[in-house]
Amino acid sequence: MPPARAAPRRCARLAAVLFDRDGTLVHDVPYNGDPDRVAPVDTARPALDRLRAAGIATGVVSNQSGIARGLLTAAQVDAVNARLDELVGPIGVWAWCPHGPDDGCSCRKPAPGLVLDAARRLGVSPDEVAVIGDIGADVGAAAAAGARSVLVPTAVTRQAEIDAAPLVARDLLHALDLLGLPDGSSSAPLRLPHP
């Protein structure tokens, strides 16, 4: 009989938080290409400030299929992103997918590509990353990349996606609470149980 061995509780430091954009950091305006229509949710700026104060990297991971659908240009997406960065930034890294659901790309959430790309560009390991989003595809992309996630549902989030999410928060600050993130007054290293 092999010697009994206690399963180690694998922990990873939280090094980066990646946010979905539409319906998470900003009130969703479908296929928005107009910087003037960018309206951050109330907790976007406080949550990002808290992360910056704690020395945690930030990023955005966003599906922008409006490009594949011919409803948006890349320049419009860049302009909307720049406006959001002006309102709540600076955000550390931007990663977005221009493809449609039928393109078979590796970046459109729930595929892991955007999360992996953002983690690589931030110089952190995916298991040091948490993704915060409003739908199941955000949770799925995190899981596929080996990252943690918190779902912050909106009125249009499907109940099945809420039921399936590992962590569900009422807003972005609550999501950081659930991730064990200290408030802005502390920069102590954070260690969290691995999923």
Nearer to Zn ion, 48 or 68 (CB): 68
In a 3-state reduction of DSSP, which class is residue 55? coil
Contact string 51-90 vs Zn ion (x = CB under 5 A): ----------------------------------------
For 134: left if phi > 0, alpha if psi spans -120 to 50, otherwise beta; the answer is alpha
Site for Mg ion in 149-168 (CB under 5 A): none
Tokens of 83: 């406006």
Q: How far is the CB of 117 from Mg ion (least distance, A)?
A: 18
Q: Is 22 in the site for Mg ion (CB under 5 A)?
A: yes
Which residue stretches of the chain are H helix? 44-53, 74-88, 113-122, 136-145, 159-164, 172-178
Of 145, 159, 97, 64, the residue nearest 131 (C-alpha): 145
Between 84 and 113, how does the x/- string for binding to Zn ion read (CB under 5 A)?
-------------x-x-----x-xx-----
**From 134, 147, 161, 181, residue interacting with Mg ion (rule: CB under 5 A):** 134
137 touches Zn ion (CB under 5 A): no
Interface size with Zn ion, residues (CB under 5 A): 5
Minimum distance between the CB of residue 40 and Mg ion, rounded to whole angstroms?
A: 13
* Residue number, 134 or 161, with CB nearest to Mg ion: 134
Measure the CA–CA gap between 64 and 72, rounded to whole angstroms: 8
Count CA atoms within 13 Å of residue 120 on its CB side. 8
22 is catalytic: yes
**Buried b / exposed e along 14-25 (16+ C-beta atoms within 10 A):** bbbbbbbbbbbb
Q: Contacting Mg ion (CB under 5 A), which of 14, 20, 161, 168?
A: 20
Binding site for Mg ion (CB under 5 A): 20, 22-23, 134
Binding site for Zn ion (CB under 5 A): 97, 99, 105, 107-108
